[in-house]
Structure 1
Amino acid sequence: MRKFKRVQWMVMLLLLVMVVSACGGSGGDGNSASGGGSADSGNVKITLLNSKGEILSQLEDAAKAFQKDNPGITVEIQPVPAGGSPFERASALYASGNPPTMIMLDTGDVEKFKDRILDLSGEKWNKDTVENATTNTTFDGKNYAFPLAVEGYGFIYNKAVVDKAVGGSFDPTTIKTRNDLEKLFQQIEASGKKALVISPMDWSLGAHYLPLAYAGQNKDMAQVDKFIASLKAGQVNLATNPVFNGLMDTFDVMMKYNIDQASPLAGAYERGPELLGKGEVGVWFMGNWAWPQISGFDTANKEYGFLPVPISNNADDYGNQEISSAVSKRIVIDKEKSTPEQQEAAKKFLSWIVYDAKGQDFLVNKANIIPAFKNITLPAADPLGKSIQEYIAKGKSEQSMSMLPADHWSKLGSSMQKYLAKQGDRATLAKEIEDYWKTVK
C-alpha cells in the first residue's frame, strides 16, 4: 500500500513538471506566431515602433499604465533611431521578418504598407475623429490607420523676449507680412537678444519649411494636388512662382538674423529649445511637438505662441496669417507576422488611448499632443497646443502637406541645407526641386 502511494506520488509529480514546462514554453516575445498567446493568458507581448522621439518616455509610461489596467498584455516601445525615417526603419524590420505589432508612420507612408497592415475601419474610434482625420489613410473605402496627433508649425515666439522687444504686451496678429516679421527681428536684436535660430535638420527644412511652398499655392487642396501633379509632369517653373519665391525671400530674412549664421549647419535639434527656452533668442521655426523640450529650459515664463510664416508683403495673401496644421502621425497594426491575439491587444491599446481617462491624460497632458478625436475634450495642456487650437478655431489654418513622398525630406532637405549654407543659389535649389519631382511616380 505504501509502495503504491509512493509510485502514485511520483507520477503526479512528473505530470506537474510537464505542465509547468509546457506553460513556460508557451511564452514568447516579438511577433513570432508561436509567442502570441491569448489576450487573457498573461503572455501577449506587443511592440510599437515610435517615430516621435520627443515623447518616448511618455509613451513608455503610457505602456506601463496600460499594462497595469491590462495585466495580460505587455507593451514594448521601440524607438526609431534619432533623425531616421520611420518608413525606412519599418521597411528594414519587415525585410528582417520581425516587424513591430504597431508602427507609428507619417501620413504619406501608410499607403505603402497597405497590404501588410490591418483594416481598422471597424474600430469604434473612427466615428469620433475630427474632420478629415482619416481621409488620407482611407483606400477603397477602408481606413488603415489610427490618427494619433494633430500638429502644427511655424515661428514659435518666447513672449517674455518679444514683450521686452516691443515695449509692451506683444500681439501676434500684428505680424501679417514679411516686413512685419523683419521689423520684429530688428526689435528683438535692438533689445539685446538674438532674433532667431534656424534648426538645420533635413526633416525640418524638407518636411516642414519647403512644403509651405506647395500648400501656399491655394486654399483649395484640390488645386494644391494639381500643382503637385504639374511638378511631377515637369510643367512648373519655380523660378517664376510667386509663392515659392516669396517663401524663399522670407528664408533669406531668416538667414540674415540666424544666431548660427557663421556655421548654419552645425546646430542640432536640441539647440533650438535651449536657446528659445532660456530667452537667448526670441523666435524659432518649429512645431508644437517641441514643447516638452522648451519647457525643460524655461521653468518660470511658460508663455509662448505661434506666428505664421509670411510669404509676401500683402497681408491678405493666403498663408500670411494661417498656421500650418494637420494630422501628422498615424499608428498602423501589422497583419503579416503578428498573431490574432497580438492584433486584438494592439486594438485594445489604441482604444485605451481614446476612451480611457489615463489614455487621454497621456495624450493631452503628458505628451502635449492635440488629439484627433472629438470625444477628447481636455484643453491643450501647453501654450503651443493652445495657440494651434486658436488658429484652427478662427479658420486660420493651412493644411500641412502630409502626403509627401517618403524621401522628400531627406533629398530636398539636403537641397535646403545647401541653400542655408550658401553652397547653392536659388536657381540651383529650384532646379533640384523640379528634378526631384520628375522622378516621383
Structure 2
Amino acid sequence: MKRKVVSVILCGTMVLGMVTGCGSSKGGDSGDKVTINLYQNKSEISSQLQEAADKYTEENPNVTINVESIQGNDYNTNLKAKLISDDSVDIYALGDNITNMTDYVEDLSDQEWLKNAVDGSLDDVTLDGKVYGIPVSVEGYGLVYNKEIFKDAGIDASTLTSYDAIDKAFADLQNQIDSGKLKDKYPQLEAVEEYAAKETWIPGLHTLNAPLACEYSSATELRNSDQLGLKYADSLKALLDLETKYTTSKDDLSN
C-alpha cells in the first residue's frame, strides 16, 4: 500500500509555495515516539528549516524531525525514488505536476485553513475538486541593491523608474568600479551585479517566471496551454539584456 504523505509545492508561474496532507504516521497518541522525514528542494533555507524543526522538537520531545534538502534537476527523480522506498518521506516539496503524484498525497479538502487561502493559491494542487496542497510561501522577483554602494557612487535609487534610467546608472557605476574610484572602500567589487546566466536554470526558470506570472494565472493554466505564448517576450529580453550587461560573467556568455 502506497503511503499518503504531506507535500509542499513551489509553483513555477505563480511563484507560490504549498503543502498537502499526511495519511501515514509513525505514532498515534501524544506519548508515542514519532519520526517525521521532511524532504525539500530549496537548500538555501535548509538551516532555517532545521532550526524550526529543532525548536518544535524542544517543545515536543517525543517527535523527531529529519530535514533533508537537495537542489537541482535531480530533485523529482530522487523524490520519487524515496516515495517508493522503505525509508520514505512524510513532508516534501512538490516539484512536479500534482496529477503525477496522486498516489503520494493526502486529500486536505476538509481542512479549516482552506478558508484563509489566497484566491488562486490552491489552483495547482486542486484535482477533481479536491485540494492536495498547503500554501507555505510566496517568492518575489526583483533587483536588490546595496544602499551604501549606491550612496557612495552618487546614485539616487528613487530615480531608477525605467530601464533607460537603470541602464544609465549601472553604466555610471561600472565606470566608477573600473576606474578604481570605489576600490578603497569596496576592494572586491568587480561589477554592478552578478547573474549566472550559464546556469541555464536561472534564466530559464527564475527569470522566465517573471513574464509568465504576468501572462498566466497559474502553473496549471500554463501547463494546459497548447503553446507558450510569451506575450511579454520583449520585456523578458530587456530584462535579460540588463542582467547580463553588467555582470562579472558577461565575457563567458559571449563564448
Distance 1:187 1:162 in 2: 11
SS in 1 for 2:89: coil
Change in 2 beyond 3 A, CA 1:184/1:125? same
Residue 78 of structure 1 and its aligned partner are, at CA, apart by 1.5
1:45 aligns with 2:35: yes
Residue 53 of structure 1 and its aligned partner are, at CA, apart by 0.9
- Residue 170 of structure 2 aligns with which residue? 185
Distance 2:175 2:202 in 1: 28
Distance 2:204 2:117 in 1: 28
Give 1 or 2 for the bigger CA radius of gyration.
1
TM-score by length of 1: 0.44
1:54 aligns with 2:22: no
Change in 2 beyond 3 A, CA 1:128/1:182? same
Alignment of 1:19-30 (within 5 A): none
SS in 2 for 1:205: helix
**Quick one: which of 148, 152, 161 aligns to 2:140?**
152
- Residue 15 of structure 1 aligns with which residue? none
Calculate the aligned-residue CA RMSD, in Å: 3.1
1:170 aligns with 2:157: yes
Unaligned runs of 5+ in 2: 1-24, 178-188
The C-alpha deviation readout for 1:275-334, integer Å capped at 9, x for no partner, is xxxxxxxxxxxxxxxxxxxxxxxxxxxxxxxxxxxxxxxxxxxxxxxxxxxxxxxxxxxx
Change in 2 beyond 3 A, CA 1:164/1:175? farther
Distance 1:124 1:37 in 2: 23
User: Partner letter of residue 157 of structure 2?
Assistant: F
The C-alpha deviation readout for 1:138-177, integer Å capped at 9, x for no partner, is 1222211121111111222222222333x254216x322x
Distance 1:227 1:134 in 2: 15
Distance 1:422 1:181 in 2: 23
Residue 39 of structure 1 contacts residue 72 of structure 1 at CA under 8 Å; is this kept in 2?
no
Residue 117 of structure 1 contacts residue 144 of structure 1 at CA under 8 Å; is this kept in 2?
yes
**Quick one: which of 56, 76, 97 aligns to 1:66?**
56
- Residue 299 of structure 1 aligns with which residue? none
User: Partner letter of residue 137 of structure 1?
Assistant: V
**Quick one: which of 79, 82, 87 aligns to 1:93?**
82
Distance 1:55 1:259 in 2: 26
Residue 118 of structure 1 and its aligned partner are, at CA, apart by 0.5
Change in 2 beyond 3 A, CA 1:110/1:164? farther
Structure 1 segments of 4 or more deviating over 4 A? 224-228
Distance 1:68 1:150 in 2: 28
SS in 1 for 2:135: strand
User: Partner letter of residue 181 of structure 1?
Assistant: I
The C-alpha deviation readout for 1:194-245, integer Å capped at 9, x for no partner, is 22111233332221112334344x4x638x947972426xxx6xxxx77324
Q: Which moved more, 1:62-71 or 1:186-195?
A: 186-195
- Residue 202 of structure 2 aligns with which residue? 204
Residue 120 of structure 2 contacts residue 217 of structure 2 at CA under 8 Å; is this kept in 1?
no
TM-score by length of 2: 0.72
